[in-house]
Amino acid sequence: MAYDNTMGASRRVVAFIHFALSSGKLARRLRADVVIATSTPLTIAIPAMWAVAGRRHARFVFEVRDLWPEVPIAMGYLKNPLMIRAARWLERRTYDRADRIIALSHGMADGVARAGGERQKLAVIPNIADIETFQAVDSAQKTVLDDIPALGRRPIALYCGTFGRVNGLHYMVDLAIEAVRQESDIAFVAVGTGGQFDEVIQYARRYGVLNKSFFALPPVPKAALPGLLARATFGSSWVIDVEALKHNSANKFFDTLASGRPMLVNHGGWQADVLHERGAGWELSRNARKAVEQLAGILEDETSIRRAGEAAFKLAFEKYSLDVLSRSFVDIVTSP
């Protein structure tokens, strides 16, 4: 059964369960020493547990990329009391059955522990910053941004990812609206697709900023992202104001660091903390007027932007590089 971000909550649940059951039949026939399952969704644990069931020496490593069902409950996607009880049961069963649990942030690890996961099983390994890929940019190669005359050499806040409810890209349009009001030349460029793509475009059109200070582009291949970030002034990651989402570990955060660009976020949590501690970016106000005023002050100091980019790359190299994190992951997977 096909899945995409435009699906409603009920169709997503059906798609997740269908995948879990169909892949579980295949997983049961496989032979492995270690089975690694990575969520979301939580139902991915079902085929993994089937794969290790009855096999004394097979180990189960479960990676938590988002807290499920905490996030869908907080978002209102999961409302049915019976479904919530079933999801909570599966969560506890998964953590009990897993030999090791890898969380992508300390906040996620705390959430696993609150749900009954044993602390001694837990390790925190965030996403990888793919430095080799994001530094291998041909400066002479054109990107889709070069095909937009209105961008010129304007400063760009770039978002590459999903146009979903979680991401709340109406906020980015609000920044573009306020930038026009404040006579700032910064451009806000969002690249991707998702359930709210058309809605966000209509919102930008309604307020007269589409293709003026806000630009929405369709998805590009992963290989094109380094070139886009190399052209941008800032990378960005946005989420709506839901407490559980502050623990997220978005790929776009690590891609931006690997590219040596300062990062912008509009939420608190560990990512905002590390940006502040390392001087690698900024947490913007959720109030668009105040946020654009922040950006105006930042853009007046080119030295500050350059230093933030250097700090971003150093952070990627020291804490999130493939060499650093792959060793930790392999140690966990291979340890008895």
pLDDT per position as a tens digit, 26-42: 777 777 889 999 987 88
**Sign of the torsion angle spanned by Cα atoms 278, 280, 286, 289:** positive
pLDDT given for residue 9 in this prediction: 62
pLDDT given for residue 17 in this prediction: 73
The 3-state DSSP class for residue 174 equals: helix
Helix-, strand-, coil-residue percentages of the chain, each rounded to 5: 55, 15, 35
pLDDT given for residue 52 in this prediction: 82
Tokens of 249: 């570990």
Comparing 9-124 with 131-319, is the CATH topology the same? yes
Q: Which carries the bigger pLDDT value, residue 294 or residue 39? A: 294
pLDDT given for residue 245 in this prediction: 87
pLDDT given for residue 8 in this prediction: 62
pLDDT bucket at 5, cuts 50 / 70 / 90: low
Predicted TM-score (pTM) of the model is 0.89
Query: What are the backbone dihedrals phi and psi of residue 35, each rounded to the nearest 5 degrees, phi first?
Result: -115, 125
Mean pLDDT, residues 163-168 taken together: 94
Q: What is the domain class of 131-319 according to CATH?
A: alpha beta
pLDDT bucket at 308, cuts 50 / 70 / 90: very high
| Lowest pLDDT segment from 84-88, 230-234, 236-240, 283-287 | 84-88
The 3-state DSSP class for residue 231 equals: helix
Tokens of 28: 């049961």
Tokens of 244: 């559980």
CB 215 within 8 A of CB 191: no
Mean pLDDT, residues 172-184 taken together: 97
pLDDT bucket at 67, cuts 50 / 70 / 90: confident
- The mean pLDDT value of the chain amounts to 90
9-124: CATH topology is Rossmann fold (3.40.50)
| Lowest pLDDT segment from 66-75, 163-172, 204-213 | 66-75
Domain spans of the chain, in order of start: 9-124, 131-319
User: Which residues, 6+ apart, have CB-to-CB distance to 118 below 8 Å?
Assistant: 95
What is the CB-side half-sphere exposure of residue 298 using CA atoms within 13 A?
26
Residue 1 has pLDDT above 60, yes or no: no
Residue 286 has pLDDT above 90, yes or no: yes
pLDDT given for residue 6 in this prediction: 60
pLDDT per position as a tens digit, 230-241: 999 999 999 999
